[in-house]
Chains A and B, each alone.
Chain A
Amino acid sequence: MRDAQSALEQLNHCSRCGGCQAVCPLYAETRSEPLVARGKIYLLKSHLEGSLELSPKMKEIMSLCLLCKACVNQCPNKIPVDRLVLEARQTIAAEKGISFVKKNVFQHLLKNNGRLSLAARLGYLYQHSGIQWLVRKSRILEALGRDLARKERLLPEMAAVPFRRQVPRLIASNRPRYRVAYFTGCMTNFISPATGRAVLEVLKHQQLEVLIPEQYCCGIPALSSGDEATTVELARMNIEVFHKAKVDAVITDCASCGSMLRDYGNLVGTPEAREFSSKVMDLSQLLTDLVEFQPGDQEVPATVTYHDPCHLRRGQGVAEAPRKLIKTLPGVVFTEMKEADRCCGAAGSFNLTYYDLSTRVGRRKVENIKNTGADTVVTGCPSCITQIAHHLEMAGSRIKVMHLAELLSRSYAGERR
């Protein structure tokens, strides 16, 4: 591993109390010791001490982690398990290589917005040209395995036109209080422009000047698979873009992007990177800390519960802000769910790679949601939205899932698109 000595020092702090078992979503489903932090720590320590190879089994075990940080939070010694697992994945990727598909996606697609748009466009065509209809109707994927057919349904619907092409680069305001840049993230840009529009709708009412510069993937998909080089490159590209924008804050609507951007300072290590990271904040933080959110006066008749994205609550320490904002809306009844901060099982592409396991984690989330009696689940991460929506649908539930911005934007009467 990159800095074996410091990694070993952190690993040595594990007293093997096993407390991580109580909070690990994968352990809860499998009761399998290699999947819990204590097991992974022991294996990594053995590797660094020279008694264990980075075998294919090791690669599999290290990839079986949601990176949800629940164990880090629980650990008496606060061992940064997610970071250590990421480092292990990186070492394994460097030594053994990463899959052909992933390599191409990370190194050729993510850094090139033109190609990324093209890929999204192809996805859109698949979904709208009748091919998807044909695939689903013919059940051809089921012939290849039920799993594949279900995974196909997990594929979110692609936008016809990416969000950033739908909106101007600068949205001015009379006497703006702050100048903020909006990091749209790939999910909002390619899959859910409605979220982006809702973000802008909310921002419009807060007296802000909003910039939407051309930007790149935050890099978290590459980092999760051990391709740190690509992530660093993407980070440098983004830092440069946003540095030029000269803004007071960079806001995100995606918990995963947000936690990644806030880590650029550590990852790249330059003063610009640290300055950039210090300006990044989640939309909900902006609306509570920087400006005082002004809701519209339209009633929002909904019973709402809130799911904490791992990368927002534990990744960025944001838990109260979204709840506070939801409660300001006229007409909303807020109800807390059990285990609101437990991972939904999406974890980037974990839900595609390990569909069955991810489904078990997702079902528990859906049960907790259903038990609240809420008609709407709000959260702050597009990945979580995709996962929760998928499993609510599989459970035959009619509960709606939406981004916080979408709920907030509903309070502005008649102005909503």
Chain B
Amino acid sequence: MLEATVVKEIKSIVGEQNVLTSLEERMCYGYDSTPYAFVPELVVRPGQAEEIQQIMRLANRHLIPVYPRGAGTGLSGGSLPVKNGIVLDLNRMDRILEIDEENLVAVVEPGVITLKLQEAVEQRGLFYPPDPASLKTSTIGGNVAECAGGPRAFKYGVTRDYVMGLEVVTPTGELLKTGGKTVKSVTGYDLTRLYTGSEGTLGIITKIYLRLIPKPQSKKTLMAVYKRLEDAARNVTLIIKEGIIPVTLELMDDQTIHCVERHSHLGLPLDAEAILIIEVDGPEEVVAGQAQIIADLCRANGADSVKVASNSQESEQIWAARRAVSAAVVQIKPTKISEDVSVPRSQIPAMVRRLKEIAARYNLNLVIFGHAGDGNLHPNILCDKNDKEEMERVEKAVGELFQAAVELGGTLSGEHGIGTMKAPYLKLETGEVGYQVMLAIKKAMDPNNILNPGKIFGGEWS
């Protein structure tokens, strides 16, 4: 436990009511959306950057690990307090400071919930596109720290494409400002990008400048069903060759379809190998034309059936299938190991084949869905974390799945981050040199290794 004098000092910084000491409360800040959990020694809920600076200085003096945390919905273990210490809960810093309509910039604190920001800007006809699945609960701070993606990434990019500037408390307690409201900026190193996706290991983000764009006028949703996965993948390429960039190209494999149908009875075809949910957005006339082109293209190239939603209700029905996935898959087994490997788009069929082989070899339940447009797949292994023997097989399968992704020219993580769960595999993709460069940055910024230790890096810096 932390020394009483340290706790007292922290209370004097943030106020007594913002320091949680009871075991029960601390336990509630020791987990995220992975199956793992720890118990921090203290939970601190700061209200401003200056308080965080003081806490970081104190943490360095006493060598206490500090773990920044948003909504705790991460899938890589990025916020887990793996080595005791203090969880820094940033939910109190939840103000939208400014929506600058002239410069198309929103300035927000890290605790703002993603959906709240989206609603606020959409009221003014603007748009913040990144849409991680957890957007109703996740915080912008968490999104930036993990560089969250989402289905719309293929057309609109990921969180990093919208972060223009940051205010960050460094691991040693300095206040750093990067970027700002200008579209162009090449002054020195691009620290904004370095911090975006740094997983809380290089600093605590306290203010974020986000790029906004005008809100698309309308959208149209289609669902195409395929007997063969290859046809679905080929269709994606054909659509793009037509010069159409859909907002979303969501893929569900046969196991996912079975699972959803068993659970939700939506009338999905059980003999299909793949379903694509395609959405296009833009001016109304353009969107209607594009939907027609896509429908014709799919029908002519192996799609068994194509449904074009004619109104928002029908579009909801189509999306219902995709939204039912997360609830449906956990009916198989309670523990969900959700991976997010990404491969070049053309390698999707090969990757799906490899994944299925791996699952068969280790006798595991595997469903695959994901974002076909950008090659980001979500192989989900359904298992029971109380079954030790099964969990060992899961671990081996996960290792092979990363290997397969890298071999096909892909990446370990498209949007969840490395965190604790993928740390042992980092070098697989970065190689020794990449690893050392990253580690050098970490060591330079956080000499005492007290900010979010145990994340990204394995080995002695784990």
Contacts and interface: CB of A to CB of B under 8 A. Distances in A.
B31 A21 contact: no
Nearest to B136: A22
Given A57-B25, A76-B330, A77-B327, A15 B137 contact: no
Nearest to B330: A15
Interface stretch (A38-46, A144-152, A160-168, A188-196): A38-46
A64 B342 CA distance: 42
**Secondary structure of the B contact surface, majority rule:** loop
A19 B136 contact: yes
Contacts of B92: 31
B217 interface: no
Contacts of A13: 330, 334
Given A12-B334, A31-B92, A33-B72, A18 B134 contact: yes
B27 A17 contact: no
Contact of A31 (B27, B91, B326, B335): B91
Interface in A8-32: 12-13, 15-19, 21-22, 31
Contacts of A16: 31-35
Interface in B329-374: 330-331, 334-336
Given A31-B91, A31-B92, A33-B72, A52 B27 contact: yes
B24 A58 contact: yes
A393 to B, nearest CB: 29
A13 B331 CA distance: 9
A41 B336 CA distance: 17
Given A16-B33, A33-B72, A57 B111 contact: no
Given A17-B326, A31-B91, A31-B94, A61 B24 contact: yes
A359 to B, nearest CB: 17
A296 interface: no
Contacts of B137: 18-19, 21-22
B372 to A, nearest CB: 23
B441 interface: no
Nearest to A62: B24
Interface string B24-62: 110111011111010000000000000000000000000
A43 B134 contact: no
A18 B72 contact: yes
Report the interface size class on chain B: 20 to 34
B5 interface: no
A330 interface: no
B28 A39 contact: yes
A55 B27 CA distance: 14
Nearest to A18: B73
B6 interface: no
Given A18-B137, A22-B137, A33 B28 contact: yes
Contacts of A295: none
Contacts of A31: 91-92, 94, 111
Given A18-B71, A18-B137, A43 B27 contact: yes
B72 A15 contact: no
B334 A15 contact: yes
A16 B330 CA distance: 12
Q: Which of A55, A57, A76 has the most CB of B within 10 A?
A: A76
A413 to B, nearest CB: 40
B63 interface: no
Contacts of B33: 15-18
9 contacts: A12-B334, A15-B33, A16-B34, A16-B35, A17-B134, A18-B33, A18-B72, A22-B136, A42-B37
Interface of A: 12-13, 15-19, 21-22, 31, 33-34, 39, 42-43, 46, 52, 55, 57-58, 61, 76-77
